[in-house]
Chain A
Amino acid sequence: NAGVTQTPKFQVLKTGQSMTLQCAQDMNHEYMSWYRQDPGMGLRLIHYSVGAGITDQGEVPNGYNVSRSTTEDFPLRLLSAAPSQTSVYFCASSFSGNTEAFFGQGTRLTVV
């Protein structure tokens, strides 16, 4: 059972570069979300989706873009990387609202 799969696990970017963090789930979950986790800050919601074709902003959306063309995939795009985006990024999915969230293993991103 793959669950939630994130790629890559590690990435180093130069300031100004763009990239896409991939997230895929095989549990047919409608709800998917992206969080970033920084020391002392906990998990902060970037963007989320309640189904294919539907996305919305979370607490810290600036500098990030998402799309949800299929139920399985929810990629996160960094438009122009900045050192402030150095963080650990987690993708999560859940069957419906108010239910357990399953997390991917995380992507450790460093922007230099």
Chain B
Amino acid sequence: RKEVEQDPGPFNVPEGATVAFNCTYSNSASQSFFWYRQDCRKEPKLLMSVYSSGNEDGRFTAQLNRASQYISLLIRDSKLSDSATYLCAVFRGGSYIPTFGRGTSLIVHP
């Protein structure tokens, strides 16, 4: 089992839809979690951190489920501009550098 796994998609949704992605991790000692957004042919950029208590930023909600070892990203009221690849990043316990998932592709269509 890969250390960090994501469904590559693509998730093809209409504008205004709600979509959710999961990212599973294998190391139960993992401590910190992030979601990044990557536009085509661009560098990844931080979308949001994932806290134990959850985190909400506008239309985006990130949650952590330690018992089942996954993090999630929920996007409400999808916009065309949300079309991108969403990468999760996980820090294993004692690791200084994150491990990234392969990314989930989201396509929002009119």
Contact = CB atoms under 8 A, between A and B. Distances in A.
A103 B105 CA distance: 19
Interface residues of B, number: 22
Interface of B: 8, 31-32, 34, 42-46, 49, 87, 89, 91, 95-103
How extensive is the interface on chain A, given as a class? 20 to 34
A43 interface: yes
Would you list the 6 A-B pairs with minimal beta carbon distance, nearest first? A42-B102, A97-B96, A103-B43, A43-B100, A98-B32, A48-B97
B45 A42 contact: no
B25 to A, nearest CB: 14
A45 B103 contact: no
Contacts of A106: 42-43
A42 B20 CA distance: 19
B97 A103 contact: no
A42 B103 contact: yes
B99 A45 contact: yes
